[in-house]
Structures are given as structure tokens and as C-alpha cells.
Amino acid sequence: MSFYPITSISQFFQLSDSPVDQQSASFIKLGFSEAQAEFLTDAGYKTDEVQQRINDGFTPEEIYNAVIVKQLHDRVEIAAYRALQEGIETLQLIKGRTSTRISSTESDYLLHDCIRKAAHADMRSKDGYITMRGKYLNTKQITPVIENVSVITTDRDSKLTKATYARFEELLANLDEHNTMVNTILFNAWGVPQKKEHIHLDEIKKKAEFTGPKPLD
């Protein structure tokens, strides 16, 4: 199957050419450079969100680098939800009155041939998450993630790798739950300014153009 092209890293890091605005100015007062402040502003962060991370003991440089790595990780999620949408369309899934039934073969196809294949391809790309995270994160930010690897892998295996679903809605709910859990661990460890989980997933799905099965006619 074909996949949507993934947005390049340069597009994620592109900064505005406009003069420093009020939001960027507030970040500069917190110790960020002008370029870093514009980057955080373009990424949609607010002063109180960033200030909380500084209060938690993260430096402006650590926060800036954390947001860079977050956007690389976002690419992986976007790739996964885009591939899932393509899988839905390939299978021509139609949303029923209460649920969308899928066979075990269809479940495996969506989980492995769509989600896992696309996610692994992006995270292992030349400028992807796995290659670039070591460039931006320090030991302080990485150690808590290492300490939670078993939690992440156990949840991934139970919800995705070794799972089989009879209903698409259950598959999607568990995918969302796993991603939310992983993001909570990663973002807390890295020092990413916090937004509500559902807002993050909503943004990911919007960028992925994920709409789910077609409605019942």
C-alpha cells in the first residue's frame, strides 16, 4: 500500500519572518533566544505552559530541544494515523449504528501492515526520531524514559503488537490510549510544555487527515 508523504523536518522547524510579537517577547524574558522564542510561539505554546516547565527545573535550552524532539515524535504518530486511514479506505470499512466489526485478519492488517509499518519507517528515517533524539536530549531527559521502557513495551504489546480486535472502535480506543500514555511519559521526562492529552491527539489526527470509517448511509 502507498503512504502519504511525511512533512519534512525543515517544515517543522520553519520560523516566522514577522517581527517579535508579544508572545515571543514573553519567552525571551524567560531566557529563550529570539529564534527559540519564535519557534515556541509558532508551535502554539503559551507563557504559563513554558513557565511551569521552568518551575519544574528545566532550562530554556532543554525545553526548546524537548519541543524539537516532540515534533519528530509527532511525525511518527501522524504517519501511523495516516496509514490507518488508508487501511480503513482499503478495507472499505463502514461505520455501523453502534460499531464497526472487523475480522482478525483485518485487525492484523490495520495494526501491523498499516500502523506499525508506517510508524517504524518514519521513526527510523535519516532525519527521524530515533536518529535525532540523541542530538537534542541530555541524560537528565533520557533517564526517566529508560526507567519506563518496560511499562511502555508492555502496554504496546498488550494493546497493539499482540492484540486482535473484533471492532474497529476498540482498536482505535486502545491506539489512542497507548499514544496518550507514551506521550505523558516522554513529555514529562523531556520537559515539553504540557497541553491536554485530547488536544494533542486531536492535532495529530487533524494533520494526518484521519476521519475513520465512512458513516452508514
**For 76-86, what is each residue's pLDDT tens digit?**
999 999 999 99
User: Per-residue pLDDT tens for 88-108?
Assistant: 999 999 988 788 999 999 999
CA distances from 29 to 20, 22, 24, 190 (A): 12, 11, 9, 22
Backbone torsions φ then ψ of 165, nearest 5 degrees: -120, 145
Write down the pLDDT at residue 96. Answer: 83
Write down the pLDDT at residue 19. Answer: 55
Write down the pLDDT at residue 20. Answer: 64
Q: Grid coordinates 483485518 are at which residue?
A: 106
* Length of the chain as a residue count: 217
Domains of the chain, by residue range, sit at 56-208
Tell me the C-alpha distance between 153 and 123, whole Å. Answer: 16
Write down the pLDDT at residue 31. Answer: 97
Write down the pLDDT at residue 7. Answer: 46
Write down the pLDDT at residue 2. Answer: 39
Beta bridge partners of 101: 167
If DSSP codes are grouped into helix, strand and coil, which group holds residue 214? strand
Rg from Cα positions in the chain: 19
pTM: 0.87
Contact between 212 and 201 under an 8 Å Cβ cutoff? The reply is: no
For the chain, residues with pLDDT lower than 70 are 1-20, 197, 217
